[in-house]
Amino acid sequence: MTNRVLLVDDDAAVREALGQTLELADLRPVTAGSFVAAKDHITAEFDGVIVSDIRMPGRDGFHLLDYAHQQDPNLPVILLTGEGDIPMAVKGMTSGAFDFLEKPCAPSDLLAVVEKALKTRALVLENRRLKAQLTTGDAAARLLYGQSQQAEALRSRVRAVAGTSAEVLITGEPGTGTSKVAEVIHLLSGAAQRPFQKLAAASQTPENLAGAFEKAKGGTLFLDEVAALPPAAQFAALQLLEDNPGARVIAGTYRDLEAETREGRFNPDLYYKLDVMRVRIPSLRERTEDIPVLFRHYVQIACEQAALPQPEITPDVIARLMAQDWPGNARALMNAAMRFAMGLGEAERQEELGLNEQLAQVERSLLVEALRRAGGNATEAARALKLPRKTFYDKLARHGLRAEEYR
């Protein structure tokens, strides 16, 4: 959360006193004695909030409020009013002020209002950042969310695969989003303007497949959970791929298709035909640092779809989310976000974790963050965590982590 506060008051003693109150609360005040002095700090990109006296020589606090909202209508402005000056306070609120405080105000009252305004500002800026991501960059940047190295590696792999015309096998646990990755590959390919056909493999017959191949001609055919394709449809798919090329085939599965083939449940020729290029989607357990940004994104979408105000996502909520295993991956996180947006309780765990499990999740997150900050340098990461190298490597092994994955 941002911690900057623009403090505007023509009384130097008041500025100093309020500034000290803010500093003691680990906030970063920037002080100004007039509208003119404050003006240059007020932009649409300002990541803090404004606290301003109303009565000032020249342009007063209302002028400052108007100017701030010309730059950004969502910029929180807290107005300070003189004792008993209720009409001015009412005018401030009707003019769009975030809140008002009567001078002299108790430090606790000032901090409570400022911290609330800062949380609101942080939420607005985060929502804007997410919306910008949806409208800028290529399909991988817009549709495959995450800031972790695993997320970036996935985007890079998808871009590389999309640049070929080869068949693709996408693997990942249930809920990781194989169909979305398939769609992104299609959108990044030279066939982006051609059809994208998605089929549930389990319900396909040879006749259905033939029709789908024809409809997808020149485009992409995605077989969702290809391991469930019935035997007759497996043979038909192989024949269509060999005798009637024209649609690129992308297959997705959460099963071990190689094992399915070895045990006689999947046609080996079809397996080798599909497994030309492979994309593996990491689970949420492998990219826990992406959980907060994904959850905020899903909450924002749910609130917009239902025309609901966006609830505050507190650090406690994030901590509970980070402590979960998420066997249902992004789909389960999306469901939790929808419940949270609807006010059906916070993002509760699907299963209560014991203390040992919670501590293990926290330890893994700390190890991942240390490796990320150190650029995959295990020595630096161990030093940052004040751990002996052997202990550090033992912990990496216990959590299935490898330092080189974070370089």
Q: Where are the domains of the chain?
A: 4-133, 139-282, 285-352, 353-407
* Strand bridging mode 77-81 / 168-171: unpaired
Percent of the chain clearing pLDDT 90 (strictly above): 47
Do residues 342 and 306 make contact, with C-beta atoms less than 8 angstroms apart? yes
> Would you state the structure tokens that stand for residue 266, as one six-digit string?
């999947």
Question: What tens digit of pLDDT does each residue of 38-89 get?
Answer: 988 999 889 999 999 988 888 888 889 999 999 998 999 999 887 656 666 6
> Would you state the structure tokens that stand for residue 145, as one six-digit string?
């969310």
Could you tell me the fold of the domain covering 285-352?
Helicase, Ruva Protein; domain 3 (1.10.8)
Q: Do domains 4-133 and 139-282 have the same CATH topology?
A: yes
The 3-class secondary structure across 31-42, one letter per residue, is EECCHHHHHCCC
CATH of 139-282, one of 3.90.78.10, 3.40.50.300, 3.40.50.1480, 3.30.210.10: 3.40.50.300
pLDDT score, position 59: 87
Average of per-residue pLDDT across 219-233: 95
Cα separation, 249 vs 241, whole angstroms? 8
Lowest-confidence pick of 100-104, 191-195, 236-240, 254-258: 100-104
SS3 content of the chain, % helix, strand, coil (to 5): 55, 10, 35
* Strand bridging mode 49-53 / 77-81: parallel
- Answer yes or no: is pLDDT of 320 > 80: yes
pLDDT score, position 343: 80
Helix axes 355-373, 389-398, angle to 10 degrees: 120
CATH of 4-133, one of 3.10.290.10, 3.40.50.2300, 3.40.50.720, 3.90.340.10: 3.40.50.2300
CATH of 353-407, one of 2.60.40, 1.10.10, 1.20.950, 1.20.58: 1.10.10
Is the alpha carbon torsion for 228, 232, 236, 239 positive or negative?
Answer: positive
Alpha helix (H) residue ranges in 136-267 = 139-143, 149-162, 178-188, 206-215, 231-243, 257-262
The 3-class secondary structure across 194-213, one letter per residue, is CCEEEEEHHHCCHHHHHHHH
Question: What tens digit of pLDDT does each residue of 94-153 get?
Answer: 778 888 888 888 899 999 999 999 988 888 887 777 666 655 568 998 899 898 999 999
Helix (H) / strand (E) element for 51: namely strand 49-53
- Answer yes or no: is pLDDT of 7 > 90: yes
> Residues 193, 194, 198, CA angle at the centre, nearest 5°?
120
- Confidence class for position 390, pLDDT limits 50, 70, 90: confident
Contacts of 148 (CB under 8 A, 6+ apart): 287, 289, 290, 372
Lowest-confidence pick of 12-16, 156-160, 196-200, 369-373: 369-373
Do residues 169 and 277 make contact, with C-beta atoms less than 8 angstroms apart? yes
> Would you state the structure tokens that stand for residue 162, as one six-digit string?
């999309």
R_g (Cα) of the chain, nearest Å = 27
Q: Which residue has the tokens 């298709």?
A: 257
Q: What are the phi and psi torsion angles at 307 (to 5°)?
A: 55, 45
